[in-house]
Amino acid sequence: MTDQPVALPLEKIPQHVAIIMDGNGRWALSRGLPRLAGHKAGTENLRRVIRSTVEFGIPYLTIYAFSTENWGRPPEEVQGLMRILEDVIDRELSELDKEGVQLRHIGRLERLAPSLQEKVLDAVDMTKHNTRLTLNIAFNYGGRDEIVQAIQRIIRDGVPAEDVSDEMVGRYLYTAGVPDPDLIIRTSGELRVSNFLIWQAAYSEWYITPTYWPDFDKEEYRRALETFAQRDRRFGGISEAVANRARNG
Ligand code: FPP
């Protein structure tokens, strides 16, 4: 699977990368193709990016494939995206499983066709013991919806108000057990969060590129990781260098 050595400093490799795969429609439009051709090219690229993620040694990847707002798209595009999810499971599952990828779904399954719901649940069950890469597929996912559901479940469980904490809320989210994303990549240049991992992204670093998703290649992925490696993450505190200077007068 490896085609070139990874020169990035290991301690600076993010544990969790999340991607807003934007720009499929414009990629297609710029070639005079229907929007679905853009989503198909985006799916091909996703396959390459998953492979690169394994090669870079990143253990968690989350991809935004269908938002709770995407139902507002033309019915044939919505149907096309449903079919893509089905095809990805049908065609790629055994290869992903062989490569040690654990599939997880984040979002609401209810509105999907029962046969697709079953496929997703089977894929999650089949790969649940894999440990090389955890791939969260955000499909019919919305960050606010996730938080609302968490609050409802906390109340239903009868948790006393004083026991509600940051860490406890995390356990009620779809991403329970998954570290928060260190790096979020958004393609096609939009400067928006778009309801993606809004709780989990509190201290994530962002890499935003004008490149349309189908053209986001391994070289640019590496550039995103290199940019990340140079960031000084302070999590609301001060950098180590500044702290040392302060300590040493
Ligand atoms: C945003 O581009 C992209 C999406 C809403 C769908 C992303 C889906 C894939 C890349 C396919 C992989 C899917 C699965 C289920 C694994 P856009 O259509 O909003 O682009 P535009 O802003 O240029 O119109």
Half-sphere exposure of 89 (CA within 13 A, CB side): 22
**The predicted structure's pLDDT at residue 196:** 98
- 215 among known catalytic residues: no
Please work out, in degrees rounded to the nearest 5, the angle formed at the alpha carbon of residue 206 by the alpha carbons of 203 and 207: 160
Reply yes or no on whether the pLDDT at 186 is more than 50: yes
Reply yes or no on whether the pLDDT at 224 is more than 50: yes
The C-alpha atoms of residue 239 and residue 224 are separated, in whole angstroms, by 21
Helix 218-230 to helix 35-56 angle, to the nearest 10 degrees?
60
DSSP class per residue in 222-236:
HHHHHHHHH----TT
Residue 235's pLDDT band (cuts 50, 70, 90) = confident
Among 114, 111, 104, 115, CA closest to 137:
104
Strands lying side by side in the sheet with 133-141: 101-106, 133-141, 60-67, 16-20, 183-186, 205-208
Reply yes or no on whether the pLDDT at 88 is more than 70: yes
Reply yes or no on whether the pLDDT at 247 is more than 80: no
Reply yes or no on whether the pLDDT at 212 is more than 80: yes
Q: Indicate the top mutation candidate among 22, 49, 95 to test ligand 1's pocket, ranked by most ligand atoms within 8 A of CB.
A: 22
Residue 248's pLDDT band (cuts 50, 70, 90) = low
Reply yes or no on whether the pLDDT at 5 is more than 60: no
**Nearest protein CA to atom 16 of ligand 1, as residue:** 85
Has domain 12-247 been given CATH number 3.40.50.2000?
no
**Nearest protein CA to atom 8 of ligand 1, as residue:** 65
For tokens 């300590």, the residue is 247
Catalytic residue selected from 3, 22, 87, 157: 22
Largest Cα span, the chain: 66
**Nearest protein CA to atom 10 of ligand 1, as residue:** 42
* pLDDT tens-digit series, residues 13-68: 999 999 999 999 999 999 999 999 999 999 999 999 999 999 999 999 999 999 99
Q: What token pair was written down for 150?
A: 């968490």
CA 240–ligand 1 middle distance (angstroms): 39
Mean pLDDT of the 215-220 span? 98
> Could you count the other beta carbons within 10 Å of the beta carbon of residue 219?
8
Percent of the chain with pLDDT over 70: 93
**The predicted structure's pLDDT at residue 245:** 65
Half-sphere exposure of 2 (CA within 13 A, CB side): 7
Q: Indicate the top mutation candidate among 24, 45, 186, 215 to test ligand 1's pocket, ranked by most ligand atoms within 8 A of CB.
A: 24
Give residues with Cβ within 8 angstroms of 70, minimum separation 6.
78, 81
E strand or H helix that includes residue 246? helix 240-247
Ligand 1 atom closest to the CA of 214, numbered from 1: 10
* pTM, two decimal places: 0.93
The C-alpha atoms of residue 171 and residue 157 are separated, in whole angstroms, by 13
Domain residue ranges of the chain, discontinuous segments joined by +: 12-247
Contact 137, 108 (CB under 8 A): no
**Nearest protein CA to atom 22 of ligand 1, as residue:** 23
Alpha carbon of residue 159 to chain centroid? 30
Backbone φ/ψ region at 2: left (φ over 0), alpha (ψ -120 to 50), beta? beta
**Nearest protein CA to atom 15 of ligand 1, as residue:** 85
**The predicted structure's pLDDT at residue 28:** 98
- 3 among known catalytic residues: no
**Nearest protein CA to atom 1 of ligand 1, as residue:** 22
Ligand 1 atom closest to the CA of 137, numbered from 1: 16
**The predicted structure's pLDDT at residue 7:** 65
Is the model more confident about 61 or about 1? 61
Ligand 1 atom closest to the CA of 67, numbered from 1: 5
Q: Which residues line ligand 1 (CB under 6 A)?
A: 21-26, 39, 42-43, 46, 65, 70, 81, 84-85, 88, 137, 139, 188, 213
Among 232, 58, 227, CA closest to 219:
227
CA 49–ligand 1 middle distance (angstroms): 14
**The predicted structure's pLDDT at residue 1:** 47
